[in-house]
Amino acid sequence: MTEPTATVGILGGGQLGRMLALAGVPLGIRCVVIEPTPGAPAGAVAEVLTASYDDQRALEQLARRCDVVTIEVEHVPIDSLAWLAARVPVHPSPEVVAVAQDRLAEKRRFVALGIETAPFAAPEELDAGYEAGTIVKRRTGGFDGRGQARLGPHASRSALAAAATSFGGRCVAEGVVSFDRELSVVAARGLDGTAACYPLVENRHRDGILRETVAPAPDASASMLAEGAAMVCRLADDLDLVGVLALELFQVGERLMANELAPRVHNSGHWTIEGAATSQFEQHLRAVTGLPLGEVGPIWPSAMVNVIGVEPEPARALSVPGAHLHRYGKAARPDRKIGHVTVTGRDERERDERLAAVRAIIG
Ligand code: AMP
């Protein structure tokens, strides 16, 4: 057997860890995962150490066996990452993950870099909520719209305080942005500081959960495409990030406003598996192991539809030309992402027809 190119440790063995490990196979990159939940998706393609993220024996194994350690979720203990980083390269660094764990720190970073974001403050700093309405979000740990409360215009101090208390106190209050649509941009930055940026994509949410991504974002002007790329590259440079970075954005007219960053592979980048010259998963592994980054150009118009709660009949999903089904091997539960379907077309019209067909099957 040939020697592996590298052994990569991953904190987190969900679908992102699974797709990372899968992308490593052709490169000869072996992945070892720490995952607290037994039977997690990554087990199909990676060695899984079933342990909590602060389990000393599991961390020691990762440090001993891996050339580099990365994450698939940002909500991992910073102490564990710091312990690992003293022994083995960790990308993204514990400092970057700490920023991504805290919505307030994240927004302050946007402001420091001149990246526009919704008005925000700690709830206790406000005498009243914002005119357009206020969203109170947990600073740490919320995802898919969970851990958020939406208040009407000029919410009172007591309403802000009550919302914050319901989430355990540590919150950020944001002005509601009446955006035209939601976009995101995914980039990768290598060990040598070179960056490669996928095009802007459009994300369609329902109930705070991403339902569909359309890539590249339809009708995005050249200046907006350039601005999205510039924003994510500025952030990656400033954070000295190695690996993939996703930036979620609101489009307001021709302006882009940053909502959230994720220093990891991202749901809105799943289309790259079939739709781009190099998938975000391969790109992340290339970046963290010091290999040259791959080309990011879209091969053809693509769309991704998340499978949420209920699995489609595989043969039905695949009956749509250009469709590819990704099942995560997770038990079906309401509001749980259990797979996705990517669909491609030779042009946008064909892609959109096929997307409508997939949507009709997945619901
Ligand atoms: P988040 O957890 O910050 O990604 O928020 C989940 C979803 O809530 C976003 O994708 C938006 O649809 C919506 N949202 C979050 N923040 C704002 C905001 N400041 N104004 C309007 N909508 C928002």
Q: Residue 145's pLDDT is what?
A: 67
| pLDDT of amino acid 268 | 98
> Is the separation of the CB atoms in 246 and 184 below 8 Å?
yes
Output the pLDDT for position 70: 98
- 33 vs 5, higher pLDDT: 33
Q: What is the pLDDT of residue 2?
A: 73
Question: What's the confidence (pLDDT) of residue 144?
Answer: 64
Contact, 196 vs 293, CB < 8 A?
yes
> For the chain, first and last CA: distance in Å?
45
Q: Report d(CA 92, CA 219) in Å as an integer.
A: 33
**Protein residue closest via CA to atom 11 of ligand 1:** 208
Give the pLDDT score at 168.
87
Mean pLDDT, rounded, for 261-289: 98
Sign of the CA dihedral with 227 first, then 104, 262, and 220 last? negative
| Closest to 155 (Cα-Cα) out of 189, 138, 131, 179 | 131
Find out whether the beta carbon of 259 lies less than 6 Å from any atom of ligand 1.
Answer: yes
Q: What secondary structure letter does DSSP report for 356?
A: H
Percent of the chain with pLDDT over 90: 94
Distance 266 CA to ligand 1 centre (A): 16
Q: What would the pLDDT profile of 86-145 be if each residue is shown by its tens digit? A: 999 999 999 999 999 999 999 999 999 999 999 999 999 999 999 999 999 999 986 666
At residue 334, what is the residue type? P
Query: Is the pLDDT at 351 greater than 90, yes or no?
Result: yes
Q: Tell me, using a 6 A CB cutoff, whether residue 135 lines ligand 1.
A: yes
pTM of model > 0.85: yes
Please work out whether the CB of residue 118 comes within 6 Å of at least one atom of ligand 1. Answer: yes
Collect all residues with Cβ–Cβ distance below 8 Å to 91 and sequence separation of at least 6.
Answer: 68, 69, 70, 241, 242, 243, 287, 288
Per residue in 278-337, pLDDT (tens digit) is 999 999 999 999 999 999 999 999 999 999 999 999 999 999 999 999 999 999 999 999
- Is pLDDT of 181 > 90? yes
The model's pLDDT over 12-60, given as tens digits with 9 standing for 90+, comes to 999 999 999 999 999 999 999 999 999 999 999 999 999 999 999 999 9
pLDDT of amino acid 1? 65
Note if the bond before 314 is cis, omega within 30 degrees.
Answer: no
Q: Tell me if 145 CB under 6 Å of ligand 1.
A: yes
Q: What is the mean pLDDT of residues 146-171?
A: 92
106 CB less than 6 Å from ligand 1? Answer: no
Q: Is 182 in the pocket of ligand 1 (CB under 6 A)?
A: yes
Q: What is the mean pLDDT of residues 225-231?
A: 97
Residues 6 or more apart whose Cβ sits within 8 Å of residue 191? 242, 287, 288, 290
**Size of the chain in residues:** 363
Q: Determine the atom of ligand 1 nearest the C-alpha atom of 103.
A: 3
Phi-psi region of 86 (alpha: psi -120 to 50; beta: other; left: phi over 0): alpha
Cα separation, 251 vs 233, whole angstroms: 18
Transcribe 45-97 into DSSP letters: TSEEEES-TT-HHHHHHHHHH-SEEEES-S-S-HHHHHHHHTTS-BSS-HHHH
Burial of 352 (0-12, 13-18, 19+ CB in 10 A): middle
In 243-333, DSSP assigns E strands to 243-252, 255-262, 302-308, 323-327
Q: How far apart are CA 188 and CA 286, in angstroms?
A: 9
Average pLDDT over residues 182-190: 98
d(CA 304, CA 273): 10
Ligand 1: residue whose CA is nearest its atom 5: 145
Instruction: Please report the DSSP string for 197-220 in residue order.
Output: EPPPEEEEEETTEEEEEEESPTT-
CB 177 less than 6 A from any atom of ligand 1: yes
pLDDT at 3: 84
Tell me if 260 CB under 6 Å of ligand 1.
yes
CB 33 within 8 A of CB 47: yes
